[in-house]
Structure 1
């Protein structure tokens, strides 16, 4: 069963995204509400996939990516962004994030990104 770490500063998004992954047969091994927690949990859990909100208190998602990728270059991180954050998305991809999705999104949009990254996409 693939594992996922859900990172978002809002509980509603963590629960919503976590429930999507559970429906798809993933194990949600952790949740973080800021980038600092995300870095610590990533080191501890080393999940198969991470959804990483960009705008969070304490440490942003982009700064968390900058800490995770040098130590774990194969980390599968999907950035979750609000509309209008394209410049930050480019930076996140350059830093090693695998893909991104823009809020609000439909479950099938996230599933397509996940499947592309994990190699299970069936059109």
Structure 2
């Protein structure tokens, strides 16, 4: 079981991910709707894993990954991207993200990614 911080500016996406995670007995440690909030909550909650949207107001997912990796070089972050954002996904991996999942979310792929990143 992992404690997960869900970061996405769309409430619907946060609910969808939350339901997938809870069904698999993971705990949702918290939710953020932008990168700034994600960095603040990461400090506060120390989650096992973060699912990070790429395109968000205030601070992008990419910038948030960079900030979180400064706080905790071992942070486990999974990027969530819509189709066709491959270039950004590569940047995210270079910034320190461990994996990525594509929207719309496929339940088995989400859980597979979490297991893979947790090792």
Q: Bin the TM-score by the shorter chain.
A: over 0.9
Q: Determine which structure has greater relative contact order: mean sequence separation of CA pairs < 8 Å that are 6+ residues apart, divided by chain length.
A: 2
Residues 1:86 and 2:86 are matched in the alignment: yes
Q: For 1:110, what is the secondary structure of its paired residue? A: helix
Cα separation, 2, equivalents of 1:71 and 1:33: 19
TM-score of the pair, normalised by structure 2 = 0.97
Tell me how large the CA RMSD over aligned residues is: 0.8
Can you give the 5+ residue segments of structure 2 that lack an aligned partner in the other structure? Answer: none
Residues 1:95 and 2:95 are matched in the alignment: yes
- In the other structure, the counterpart of 1:55 is 55
Shift of 1:93: 0.4
Shift of 1:106: 1.0
Shift of 1:105: 2.4
- In the other structure, the counterpart of 1:7 is 7
- In the other structure, the counterpart of 1:69 is 69
- In the other structure, the counterpart of 1:33 is 33
Paired residues, number: 119
Cα separation, 2, equivalents of 1:77 and 1:15: 18
Runs of 4+ in 1 over 4 A off after TM superposition: none
Cα separation, 2, equivalents of 1:7 and 1:71: 17
